[in-house]
Amino acid sequence: MYQFNWRPVFDNFDLLLKGLVLGIGIALLSLAIGSIIGLAAAFCRVHGTRPLKFLAAAYVELVRNIPLLLIIYFVYFGLPLLGLSLFDNTWSFVLALSVYAGAYLAEVFRAGIEAVGKGQIEAARAIGLTRLQVARHVTIPLMFRVALPSLGNTFISLFKDTSVASAIAVPELTYGAIRINVNTWRVIEVYLVVGLMYLAACYAIAALLRQAERRYRVMH
Amino acid sequence: MIELILSSAPLIARGLLITLLVSACVLLLGSVIGVGGGLGLLYGGRPLRLVVRFYVDTLRGIPQLVLIFAIFYGFPAIGLQVSAMIAGILALSLFCGAHVAEIVRGAVASIPRGQTDAALGLGLSFRQRLRHVIFPQAVVRILPAWVNTAVEIIKSSSLVSLVSVVDLTMAVQQVVGRTREALLFYAVAAALYFLLNFTLSMAGRRLERRFSHA
């Protein structure tokens, strides 16, 4: 019979809490960097010249069809061989997750750009805005409102994906679980607590996002 | 370079086979759980619905890697011996099942109510209704989402390498450790995963088109 002993888990709770905060931080940062990459790729795919369209499509399809773990290994073990050893493990992971997120966000933003009415753009052009101004003041703000629900879902997936960072010893929540498990062998307790922490964080984020969505909903 | 690839080919091929095996088992098991769960959500009594809803919402809020670790390290602690591969398959199947359950529920719920009413009017039993009216229409709606899930599962199967299953990802890590040719062999692995998943997505898109004409 398994004897429960919660003490070792709660004695090391700061490890888990710090891990959780780091995970959310990494997910937020990757969402931000990924949004920039994704926005560029989406604009290239919709409005770019042929080679740009192809490049953007190739990036999106390639990244979406290979495992995140492989991208992490490539950045962490592969890039230094190319002379790019600027990153420690945490920043390597942020880079990998951003590139990964960018491919998913490119599709989210593409759908958003395509959902912006032609009339809106024509009206903006008619009052004399340049193409750049149209993108900045019309397409992008409207697109963000359309894309908000998908952006929220992407953020939650990214947060869950931060658990894979434990593979290269980034001290996030899953790595905290591994360490406590190795040191104390309270395996059931630690994974129950960690599972609950992920669950609670996911639902808290989802609730916050629903509130934001209500506020910025597109009026029809 | 060619020589290097050729000499590592058997190991990589075996890894690819394990990746395919794990993914196939997960998709099979996950689909069975998912169809059962989806039907439970749709037609079950209140207690069953609550149980399935709890399962689906819990599994979707926990990272797959945590599920794999929990089963791989947790089962032996309560006296259940599982191999790394079985632990990985079990964890990913539970995750896959939760996703498929939600897909099945959504697909069936999107079939107009009139179809069920008409089937009832014809005097079809519950089983006949499912088999001849609901399922044929639901499959068309399930398929595109299911193919996406399959791609996600093939990608997630790489996580079993972290509990020491020698799948494609682990095989490539071993080859890299031996040859120090990280970039070359990561590219090989990426190409294999890409070919597998891209073909699958393309086939999915094709099937979707074909069904939507029917």
| 3-state helix/strand/coil string of A33-69 | HHHHHHHHHHHHHHHCCHHHHHHHHHHHHHHHCCCHH
In this prediction, residue B130 carries a pLDDT of: 87
Among left, alpha and beta (phi > 0; psi -120 to 50; other), residue B87 is alpha
In this prediction, residue A220 carries a pLDDT of: 52
Residues of A in contact with B70 (CB under 8 A): 191, 195
Does residue A218 surpass a pLDDT of 70? no
Cα B156 from chain centroid?
Answer: 9
Query: CB neighbours of A69 closer than 8 A, spacing ≥ 6?
Result: A164, A167, B158, B159, B161, B162, B169
Report the percentage of chain B scoring pLDDT > 70. 99
Residue A170 phi, psi (nearest 5):
-75, 130
How many cross-chain Cβ pairs, A to B, lie less than 8 Å apart? 109
**Is B189 within 8 Å of A203 when comparing Cβ atoms?**
no
Query: CB neighbours of A125 closer than 8 A, spacing ≥ 6?
Result: A134
Residues of B in contact with A77 (CB under 8 A): 176, 182, 186
Report the percentage of chain B scoring pLDDT > 90. 71
Provide the ipTM.
Answer: 0.91
| Chain B: residue whose CA lies nearest to A196 | B62
Distance CA B80, CA B68 (A): 15
* Residue that has been written with the tokens 């079993």 in this structure: B160
Tens of pLDDT along B23-52?
999 999 999 999 999 999 999 999 999 999
Query: Are B111 and B42 spatial neighbours (Cβ–Cβ below 8 Å)?
Result: no
The residues of A whose Cβ lies within 8 A of any Cβ of B are: 2, 61-62, 64-70, 73-74, 77-78, 81-82, 160-164, 166-167, 174, 177-178, 181, 185, 187-188, 191, 194-195, 198-199, 202-203
Q: DSSP code of A116?
A: S
Tokens for A106?
């490119």
Tens of pLDDT along A148-183?
889 999 999 999 999 999 999 999 999 999 999 888
A48-77: b (≥16 Cβ within 10 Å) or e: beeeeeeebeebbebbbbbbbbbbbbbbbb
Single pTM value for the model:
0.92
**Stretch B89-100: mean pLDDT:** 97
Query: Are A19 and A171 spatial neighbours (Cβ–Cβ below 8 Å)?
Result: yes
Query: Are B68 and B159 spatial neighbours (Cβ–Cβ below 8 Å)?
Result: yes
**Stretch B55-82: mean pLDDT:** 94
Tens of pLDDT along A73-115?
999 999 988 888 777 999 999 999 999 999 999 999 999 888 8
**Is A2 within 8 Å of B194 when comparing Cβ atoms?**
no
Distance CA A110, CA A143 (A): 9
> Nearest CB to A202: which of B61, B79, B159?
B61
| DSSP states of B66-79 | HHHHHHHHHHHHTT
Residues of B in contact with A65 (CB under 8 A): 151, 155, 193-194, 197-198, 201
Residues of A in contact with B198 (CB under 8 A): 61, 65
Query: CB neighbours of A4 closer than 8 A, spacing ≥ 6?
Result: A188, A189
Helix/strand/coil for A2: coil
